[in-house]
Structure 1
Amino acid sequence: MTTEQQDIIKILHEIETPIIDDDVNYWFIRTNGGEKFEDFYFGKYVAIGWDKCNDIEHIKVTKQEDLKLEIERTYTKEEESRPGSIAAQLKNFVNEIKINDIILIPSSNCDRIAFGKITSDAYLYELTDEDTMDMMFEDAEIDFLKRRNVEWITNEPLKRSKIDPLIIPIIYSHGAVVSANNYSSFINRTLFPNYYRGGAFHSILRIEKKDNVSAYEFNKFLNCYFELSDILSEITGESINKEDLKFKASFNSPGPVEFITYSASFFIVLSAITLFLNGANVNLDINVFNKFHFKTDIQSDGLLKKLFDKKGKDNEHEERMKEIENKINDSKKELEIK
């Protein structure tokens, strides 16, 4: 890891921005038509059925084709008509899912989706005395015993209307355990306003304006990033390539706008503007890249003028940063940026 990357990681920890490892995978895990959704969610776990095949260590080491043959012997064709698919899903749940992978589980009719992070290896749930009593006197069935513990990422399951629409096709996939890696970027921007992965910093803003978005207003807002990068370049003496800032947008407003950069300099610009828009309660006093001082108190007035030390900065820079700050405030109101 380079010195610049180490400095970025340090800042990200300070502002509590998620750092997603490259080897994190994403999974869509069904809840038996929504029947198990509340059990999973409030129990803080996910699970898979086919409880006649509950030897987890055996599933781990058995070849998938051999496991398929065992399933054919265990279940009748009327009970399970696709033993090969079952074998693949059991192997995925036990072998392929890892701690820190991100999972999605749907409620009935997929009206809500809960997003979580895997926190344990696969294990076989052992019935408690309370479970036994429930089974005896309340005719309760305790099943889906192959489980993994989960830490939920959002405070509550998200309504379908609050989820990035590009995630929705995953709900039409077949299988109890389905890879959602192709949807990872859409999942990340649904969950996190900012995150860092694969050497890139992602900053997601949400335009909530329901009427048509003014191209002029959006362009004015976009220019704030480049104007601030010009000031940063002047103060530090470092050249900044404006093509290092990319963005993805859904112009079906309301919708997300995602800024992406691999550039250390644009990382600072994105951090400053995003923190300002989100009004985060963050205090920073960090020496960045040994080139300039990143110092700001988000709750005080004049955020942008505090982005850099006053040392080596003249009144012209302060005035220009104040103008940028005013433009951002105007755009936030006009575009209804959240």
Structure 2
Amino acid sequence: MEFDIEKSIEKVRVVDENRRYWFIRTYGGATYTDFIEHNYVGIGFNDVPQKYIENCKGRNDSDIKNLREYIESKYSYRNGTTSKWINQLIDFQHTIKEGDIVVIPDRNSDQFTVGVVESDVYVVEDNRAFLHNKNYEPYPEKRRKIKWQRNIIGSDTRELKGLTNSRQAISRADNYADIIEGFVSSVYIREDQMHLVLKINQHEDINAFDLNDMLSGVTYFYNEFCKEYGIPENRDLTIKIQVQSEGNARVKGYFKKGIFGVMIITALTANGEFTMDPATGEFSFKTGDGIVSSILEPITDFLNAKQERTIKFIEYQKSSKNLELNSLNTNNNVLDNTTEEGEGKNANDEGN
């Protein structure tokens, strides 16, 4: 194919390998809206002087003892409860870093919002209060600036419900990294694997044959794109599915060209219209919304190169339409074959 897939892969979002993930509660949803509207997250204990927490950077016993004594002199916490809050204050001050991801829930965890940490801890004066558990509480004054990325509602919240099992104000969410990143964008690279999130929007019970044809199409086109770019036939592909009616299929693998090819084919099934030439058996695409025209000719050539590919594409498109398959949020510029200076810069590992 003439389509320069390597330059397009360079434009795919690459996740920093040092990024960590955090679940931060919102006082039962009471501070959720304020966090969103004012672009921050915060932790309580406004009365605790910031210097006591800053001094605990190295977790020195004497510094932690000073912090413990101050908390126990001002609050009713003791023993393990005090230790829990000390650890959360230290995490908020020292362990969370700029570039980390935070997830916050609204009341009853009916929706979640994902954001990127943009600052160190800063302290503000805020005389406002909110109602929580029949008491008025002051808004948190120890804060970090957040750039909100995505609001998660409806069936998508199922994948994050496990975060709420922790009752702490701040808890680590590293085990949800792939799920969270998939809500930021439907295609990304993390730990040298390319990830692609496909969303099934069908509200009724999933037809088993449609699901089988969809999964068969994913594995088939993955291997066909690998072959096209000289990558040996392989089984380096995993798919995690959380489907009741509507739900997500998460595809990942080390051979990025194969995953990227699946993304292109899926985009065409959702947005492209094709016509078949009865004389030659070949088909051509009309440009669909959001599809870069420069990829249509090489992808058409790719599909027409083997009759089996055209048949598989028709099956995949049929199953995709029946399942109402698409991406969560597609950045169509990654389908362009020109790379803007300074974007991407992925690892040039052989066989991608």
TM over 0.5, yes or no? yes
Post-superposition Cα deviations, 1:1-33, rounded to whole Å, max 9, x if no partner, equal: xxxxxx85x42453xx43211211110111222
Match of 2:189 in 1: 196
Query: Partners in 2 of 1:147 and 1:50 — Cα distance?
Result: 11
Query: 1:191-230 counterparts in 2 under 5 A?
Result: 191-229=184-222
Partner residue of 2:141 out of 139, 145, 154: 145
Match of 1:283 in 2: none
Q: CA deviation at 1:91?
A: 0.7
Q: CA deviation at 1:166?
A: 3.4
Question: Against the structure 1 CA distance between its residues 302 and 148, is the aligned structure 2 distance closer, same or farther, given a 3 Å change threshold?
Answer: closer
Question: Against the structure 1 CA distance between its residues 222 and 240, is the aligned structure 2 distance closer, same or farther, given a 3 Å change threshold?
Answer: farther
> Is 1:211–1:253's contact at 8 Å kept on the other side of the alignment?
yes
Paired amino acid for 1:270: V
Match of 2:83 in 1: 84
Query: Partners in 2 of 1:210 and 1:250 — Cα distance?
Result: 14
Paired amino acid for 1:51: N
> Is 2:71–2:82's contact at 8 Å kept on the other side of the alignment?
no
Match of 1:175 in 2: 168
Q: Tell me the C-alpha RMSD between the 2 structures.
A: 3.3
Query: Partners in 2 of 1:66 and 1:233 — Cα distance?
Result: 56
> Is 1:103–1:115's contact at 8 Å kept on the other side of the alignment?
yes
Match of 1:34 in 2: 29
Match of 1:123 in 2: 122
How many equivalent residue pairs? 297
* SS state at 2:235 partner: helix
Partner residue of 1:50 out of 40, 45, 53: 45
Match of 1:241 in 2: 233
Match of 2:347 in 1: none
* SS state at 1:220 partner: helix
> Is 1:18–1:196's contact at 8 Å kept on the other side of the alignment?
yes
> Is 2:236–2:253's contact at 8 Å kept on the other side of the alignment?
yes
Post-superposition Cα deviations, 1:190-219, rounded to whole Å, max 9, x if no partner, equal: 443222100111111111223332332222
* SS state at 2:77 partner: coil
* SS state at 1:240 partner: coil
Match of 2:97 in 1: 98
Q: CA deviation at 1:321?
A: 4.7
Query: Partners in 2 of 1:62 and 1:230 — Cα distance?
Result: 51
* SS state at 1:250 partner: strand
Match of 2:319 in 1: 331
> Is 1:54–1:145's contact at 8 Å kept on the other side of the alignment?
no
After TM superposition, the score normalised by the length of structure 1 is 0.75
Query: Partners in 1 of 2:88 and 2:183 — Cα distance?
Result: 26
Match of 1:63 in 2: 60
Which protein has greater RCO, CA pairs closer than 8 Å, 6+ apart?
2
Post-superposition Cα deviations, 1:129-185, rounded to whole Å, max 9, x if no partner, equal: xx67x79xxxx986421111000011xx333x3434232121121211110112222
Query: Partners in 2 of 1:218 and 1:240 — Cα distance?
Result: 27
* SS state at 1:53 partner: coil
Query: Partners in 2 of 1:273 and 1:108 — Cα distance?
Result: 39
Identical counterparts, % of pairs: 24
Question: Against the structure 1 CA distance between its residues 64 and 105, is the aligned structure 2 distance closer, same or farther, given a 3 Å change threshold?
Answer: farther
Query: 1:303-322 counterparts in 2 under 5 A?
Result: 305-307=297-299, 316-317=304-305, 321-322=309-310
Question: Against the structure 1 CA distance between its residues 25 and 274, is the aligned structure 2 distance closer, same or farther, given a 3 Å change threshold?
Answer: farther
Query: Partners in 2 of 1:30 and 1:302 — Cα distance?
Result: 46
Question: Structure 1 stretches of 5 or more lacking a match?
Answer: 1-6, 281-295
* SS state at 1:328 partner: helix
* SS state at 2:57 partner: helix
Match of 1:284 in 2: none
